[in-house]
């Protein structure tokens, strides 16, 4: 017999990294869903194109956004909120694709949150240099449900802090198909994204797309 027969078979399951109590990074978790997710993403963008929204203070965000699901997150001079209507088109946001629900539900379960049923997906597009300052996801009505965040495209540095804005955040490099889940004790932890480094991703090009699933209502 050759030595090859005794070589260990590599474990290709997504790795799991704890970030905090109730928060976990699932490396490569979205890989099995990738082709369907990207195809569905293109359909959503065709119906509800990316746009750079303005904060209540009049500042234009560096990240471009769109939404799908029963509710979409929007910001303008009146503040932050969820709305069932796309303000640009006057039409409901595109429906949540089945594959989006599938990856979100399975990732949440892998993170310890069974039964997650998202009704909103905020889709962020980061061009090189775009960033997201430290913030809490607190516009949702149900804090018992987790946040599920899927990364596609260029790698990004994810900042994950604590319950206070002053808490120093830890830095995690997120790659294509990585998923972060946080809820329970860390549901309202501050988090953000450092300025995106330039590059060219083989699948997504010169950008990072982030799908953030929530139970908004």
Region 1-24: what's the mean pLDDT? 67
The answer to whether residue 2 sits within a structural domain is no
pLDDT score at 13:
58
- Write down the pLDDT at residue 24: 98
Report the number of distinct structural domains present in the chain. 1
Q: What is the pLDDT of residue 43?
A: 98
Could you tell me if residue 98 is inside a domain?
Answer: yes
For 162-178, write each residue's pLDDT tens digit.
999 999 999 999 999 99
| Two structure tokens written together for 205 | 């090009």
Q: Is the residue at 5 inside a domain?
A: no
d(CA 188, CA 212): 15
Residue 42 lies in a domain: yes
CATH of the domain at 90: 2.60.120.590
Q: Please answer whether residues 107 and 157 qualify as being in contact, where contact means their C-beta atoms are separated by less than 8 angstroms.
A: no
Let me know if residue 113 belongs to a domain: yes
Query: What confidence score (pLDDT) does residue 55 get?
Result: 86
pLDDT at 9 (0 to 100)? 40
Per the rule left: phi > 0, alpha: psi between -120 and 50, beta: everything else, 177 is: left
Q: Is residue 100 part of a domain?
A: yes
Helix (H, G, I), strand (E, B) or coil at 60: strand
Q: In the structure encoding, which two tokens stand for residue 170, read together?
A: 């830890």
Give the rounded percent of residues in the chain with a pLDDT score beyond 90.
89
The mean-pLDDT minimum among 3-7, 68-72, 85-89 falls in: 3-7
Residue 10 falls inside a structural domain: no
196 inside domain: yes
The parent domain of residue 209 ranges over 15-214
């Amino acid at each position: 017999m050759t030595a090859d027969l005794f070589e260990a078979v590599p474990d290709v399951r997504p790795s799991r990294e704890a970030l905090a109590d109730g928060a976990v990074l699932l490396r490569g978790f979205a890989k099995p869903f990738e082709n369907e997710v990207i195809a569905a993403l293109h359909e959503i963008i065709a119906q509800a194109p990316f746009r750079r929204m303005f904060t209540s203070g009049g500042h234009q965000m560096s990240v471009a956004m769109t939404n799908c699901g029963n509710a979409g997150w929007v910001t303008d001079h009146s503040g932050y909120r969820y709305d069932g209507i796309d303000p640009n088109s006057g039409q409901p946001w595109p429906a949540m694709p089945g594959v989006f629900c599938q990856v979100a539900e399975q990732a949440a379960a892998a993170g310890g949150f069974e039964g997650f049923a998202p009704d909103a997906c905020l889709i962020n597009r980061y061009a090189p240099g775009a960033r997201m300052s430290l913030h809490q996801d607190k516009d949702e009505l149900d804090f018992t449900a987790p946040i599920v965040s899927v990364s596609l495209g260029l790698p990004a540095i994810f900042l994950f802090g604590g319950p206070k804005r002053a808490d120093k955040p830890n830095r995690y490099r997120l790659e294509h198909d990585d998923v972060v889940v946080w809820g329970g004790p860390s549901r309202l932890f501050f988090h953000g994204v450092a300025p995106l480094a330039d590059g060219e991703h083989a699948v997504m090009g010169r950008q990072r797309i982030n799908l953030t699933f929530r139970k908004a209502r």
